[in-house]
Structure 1
Amino acid sequence: MKLDTVRSIADQQGPFTTVYLEGRAPSEDAPDQLRLRWKALREHLSENGATEDSLTPLDDILTGSAPDKAREINADGRVLVADDSGVLLNEPWDAKPGSGDSAHVSDVPELASYVRERDAAVRLLVVIADQTGAVVRRTVATEDKNLVDDSSGTEVTVEASSEDDVQKPRQGALSHSQIQRSADEAVKQNARGIADRLGEIADEWAPDIILLAGETQGRSAVRTELEEQLPALAELLQETEDGGTADNSGAGAEEALSDVISTVASDVSAGIRLAETERFEKARVRNLAVTGSEAVKRAADLGAVETLLLQYEDTAADESKLLVTCAYTDADAALIDVATPGNIAAILRYELPEELTSTN
């Protein structure tokens, strides 16, 4: 994961007020719940030195939003960062169930939890296709939740490119062969239009996976066009027979599709962690890795860190400070599944003297 967001926030004046709100079950009294949750956090922040200039813009978001927006925040969760200049970060937050709310006042933004969640997230283009067109959604997903991308144009409907009917005639119909060829060509042309639009969106958004759902014939046509016209995108393709839009596939279709998305995201995220773990092990053999907070800090201060590695299940001391230091040297961050001293490690850009890499 690139640390551009961490750097842009840390560039501000500070001190920083950071708030994490876990997602809660949807309810009609969500605005009241959100107000009470924020009241408790606000008191804690004020007691610990947060300024009114940093708290007031958070008031506007957490108690001044319209009821529908308050319900969305309460259900989805939120991570917010503010300083005296205003709100610096306001994004959905996929906390692990039961993790609770938290709030911090600090000289550097407390973004370790945010980075962990974003690094575990998977970017999917979800394509719900039939023979005439498709609905294409940009979705950022984790194992527990699907977080729709906040940027504009999240859902795109691709209309039929062909004006011809895609329905094939019954046996014995007039000009049977000619009409069937026309229907086949219409399906192919429509699928080509979908593939072209996917190519445009993928160029802008760089998905990890393209998940193809919908009716069998529509999926097959889109898959063929991607394989023939955009083989690089075809390599990202996964298909599912489950789910679709509620309009076309009935009640429960969206929930079924959401379950598939979460499963795919979990599998992809685990695969990425495995690849990063293997990369770390190879770097360690070549003396291009360090472990433990002190050794990682020394390497980060020298600008030697290529990738900061956070342990997936356990946190390290001063993770947020190390992330900020690494962000200023254009390092990346990633999650690994292997235990390390202090629950933190780094892959280096170049080998350091042994006295600088020691964990003692």
Structure 2
Amino acid sequence: MHSDRFRQLVDATGPFVSIYFDDSHDTEDATAQLDARLRDIRKQLEEHSVDTSVIEAVEGAVRGAQPPVGRSGRAVIAAGDTVVLDEHLIRPPTTTVVRVSELPYLVPIVEHGMLHTTYLRVAVDQTGADISVHRIARVTSENVDGDGYPVHKAKSSEGHEYGKEHAVEEAVRKNIREVADRVTELVDETGAGLVFIEGVNTARTELVSALPERVADKAVQLEGGGRAAGTDEAEVHHEIGQEFLKRRLATIDDAAARFAAGRGTGLSVEGLADVTAALRDGAVDTLIIGDIGDATVVADAGLALIAADPDTLSDLGVAPEHTLRADEALPIKAVATDAALVRTDERISPADGVGAVLRYAENSSA
């Protein structure tokens, strides 16, 4: 997962409130369930002596966003009384997580968040398309109605109309081109990472063919959905979730391969001591987060330098002023140095639950 999506957290001032919970909207009592979860979150925040203004900011962000479709999780991080991150997760956490600490907690987003925070959905047919731009907790929609007409071939009983078949085909192509032009504009404007295309197979295929290569490479054709009324949104949501999951697994595969290849070459490290050293040097290309548990690291007064133990920090001429959770300190330090973040599974089991693929061998002159 690219770290640039978290850059605003690096410059924000804590303490931070990090909340992860199930906000699925797949039952008749979904609203009542959300109310209950928010009451539980409020209670936990009050037990941490969090100010009422912060609690109200969190609740306002949750209630003010468009409800998800089907199974979903939610991530909300506040710095002071300002919500600085608010995202839907592909999968809901098994239990509600509430943390109040000096640093934000990012691991659940790395594990269950969407790799691309902006994507397009395009429901296309012969006459045009319905396009929606999905950003973090916000959706905007528009329609493209092509000028091409007619778009339906004559029935067999209308033999005298067969001469219009070429005109119909050209009208459909014109409409598809108009959709392709608008999709391209939106991808360029928003930086969307994926374009999900719905509709009948012929319209989907024609649209992909009409897109420039740089946009076509981002296209994913969905079997469900479409422009007609009665679209099964839950099915479309499931397909989109599966695509994000597939890409996440591919990212883990890539990280695992690079981590294994880097062993013995100086291009990968593992364990708290070596990973914190690489982060201090700005050498980490990809931080691999496994089961860190309750491990801690130490930091200087300004939280600029971290180390696995006080002696290491003292050897650097800095007094260890803070003890931090490793699963909070390492990811935010990776973000500060533009390193990518990967939440590993059983494919990678680094020492101390943490590893890193490096930009260069630390013993090199690079």
TM-score (norm 1): 0.78
Alignment of 1:302-313 (within 5 A): 302-311=281-290
Q: Is the 8 A contact 1:191 1:221 kept in 2?
A: yes
Q: Which amino acid aligns with 1:320?
A: E
User: 2-side partners of 1:56 and 1:255: how far apart?
Assistant: 30
Aligned twin of 2:246: 267
Match of 1:107 in 2: 102
Residue deviations 1:57-110 (CA, integer Å, cap 9, x gap): 335556xx58xx69769974432222334332333344445x111211111112
Distance 2:282 2:218 in 1: 34
Unpaired segments of 5 or more residues in structure 2? 296-325
The amino acid across from 1:126 in the alignment is R
Among residues 107, 113, 118, which one is paired with 2:113 in the alignment? 118
Amino acid at match of 2:83: V
Secondary structure of the residue aligned to 2:137 is: coil
In 1, are the aligned partners of 2:66 and 2:137 still within 8 Å (CA)?
no
Give the direction of change, closer, same or farther, for the CA distance of 1:262–1:41 in structure 2 (3 Å limit): closer
Cα shift at 1:304: 1.7
Distance of 1:151 and 1:12 partners within structure 2: 22
Give the equivalent residue in structure 2 for 1:292: 271
TM-score, normalisation: structure 2: 0.77
Aligned-pair distance for 1:201?
1.8
Aligned equivalents of 1:242, 1:83: Cα separation in 2 = 39
2:329 corresponds to 1:344? no
1:191 aligned to 166, 171, 176, which one? 176
- Distance (Å, rounded) in 2 between the aligned partners of 1:72 and 1:222: 27
What's 1:319 paired with?
327
**1:233 aligns with one of 208, 211, 215:** 215
Q: What does 1:24-173 align with in structure 2 at a 5 Å threshold?
A: 24=24, 26=26, 33-58=33-58, 60-61=60-61, 65=63, 76-96=72-92, 99-118=94-113, 124-139=119-134, 149-151=136-138, 153=140, 155-162=141-148, 164-170=149-155, 173=159
Task: Answer whether contact 1:246 1:254 (CA < 8 A) is retained.
Answer: no
Contact 1:81 1:88 (8 Å CA) reproduced: yes
Aligned AA (2:219): L
Q: Helix, strand or coil: the match of 2:357? A: strand
Alignment of 1:11-30 (within 5 A): 11-24=11-24, 26=26
After superposition, give the CA deviation of every residue in 1:169-194 in whole Å (9 maximum; x if it has no partner): 245633633x1111111011111111
Distance 1:18 1:240, change over 3 A: closer
User: Contact 1:15 / 1:106 at 8 angstroms: preserved in 2?
Assistant: yes
Aligned counterpart in structure 1 of residue 203 of structure 2, from 214, 218, 241: 218
Identity %: 25
Q: Which runs of 5+ in 1 are unaligned?
A: 140-147, 355-360
State the alpha-carbon separation in 2 of the partners of residues 70 and 223 from structure 1.
29
Report which of the two has the higher share of helix: 1
